[in-house]
A and B are shown apart, each in its own frame.
Chain A
Amino acid sequence: EAGVTQFPSHSVIEKGQTVTLRCDPISGHDNLYWYRRVMGKEIKFLLHFVKESKQDESGMPNNRFLAERTGGTYSTLKVQPAELEDSGVYFCASSQGYKKLAGRSEQFFGPGTRLTVL
């Protein structure tokens, strides 16, 4: 069975440009999460989808970040315009489970997208 996939694996852009990251979760996983690790810091939660609905977007840093999950399958995370501090590794994860069970379920992580903003 295929795991979580992310595209691209690396992206180097200039400040002010736009970048769109894509995540394909494990088939059948309704929960999809975005996380980010910036240099020297711990991995931090950005947001959580249940199917196509945003369950929790409390971790999104500001309105330059827009996440979508049309049709409840793959998700995109757009950064527009990108700033230097957006550099880091963006991980996507997916899991099964509903409501409280989601919190006890293993989250399967993708390989991440390494974003560098110059």
Chain B
Amino acid sequence: RKEVEQDPGPFNVPEGATVAFNCTYSNSASQSFFWYRQDCRKEPKLLMSVYSSGNEDGRFTAQLNRASQYISLLIRDSKLSDSATYLCVVNRGDFNKFYFGSGTKLNVKP
């Protein structure tokens, strides 16, 4: 079983739409959670860390459900520039390695 599972998509949405991505992780000892964004043929870049209480950064909201081992990312009012692959990343508490999901591709269309 993979450490981190994501729906690969693609999600094709119109500008202005709200879209949600989900991610599950297999190890209950996981301690830190992140969403990274990766543009085509570029490096992953941190979008936001995910905290237990949930957190929001502008149009982006991240939620963590430890009981279900589930992380979500909500994007409101999608922009063309949001088109990218969104990577769910988990640190298991062995405080070094990041475990990546395979990514969810988002295409925002005019």
The CA-CA distance from A59 to B98 in the complex, in Å, is: 11
> Does B91 count as interface, using CB distance less than 8 angstroms?
yes
> Known contacts being A42-B101, A42-B102, A44-B100, is A102 close to B95, with CB within 8 Å?
yes
- How many interface residues does B have (CB within 8 Å)? 24
> Does B97 count as interface, using CB distance less than 8 angstroms?
yes
Tell me which residues across on chain A come within 8 A of B4, comparing CB atoms: 42
The CA-CA distance from A103 to B42 in the complex, in Å, is: 23
> Does B26 count as interface, using CB distance less than 8 angstroms?
no
Tell me which residues across on chain A come within 8 A of B57, comparing CB atoms: none
Within 8 A of B (CB), among A76-118: 91, 93, 99-104, 106-112
> Known contacts being A42-B4, A42-B103, is A104 close to B45, with CB within 8 Å?
no
> Does B11 count as interface, using CB distance less than 8 angstroms?
no
The CA-CA distance from A42 to B36 in the complex, in Å, is: 13
Within 8 A of B (CB), among A40-54: 41-45, 48
Tell me which residues across on chain A come within 8 A of B101, comparing CB atoms: 42
The CA-CA distance from A109 to B2 in the complex, in Å, is: 22
Interface residues on A, range: 20 to 34
- Distance to closest chain A CB from B109 (angstroms): 25
Which residue of A is nearest B46, CB measured?
Answer: A106
The CA-CA distance from A80 to B50 in the complex, in Å, is: 39
> Does A33 count as interface, using CB distance less than 8 angstroms?
yes
> Does B93 count as interface, using CB distance less than 8 angstroms?
yes
Among candidates B31, B43, B97, residue contacting A56 with C-beta atoms closer than 8 Å = B97
In the complex, the answer to whether A43 meets B87 with C-beta atoms within 8 Å is yes
Tell me which residues across on chain B come within 8 A of A56, comparing CB atoms: 94, 96-97
Beyond the given A91-B43, A103-B94, A109-B44, please list 4 additional residue pairs across the A-B interface where CB-CB is below 8 A: A45-B97, A103-B91, A103-B93, A109-B43
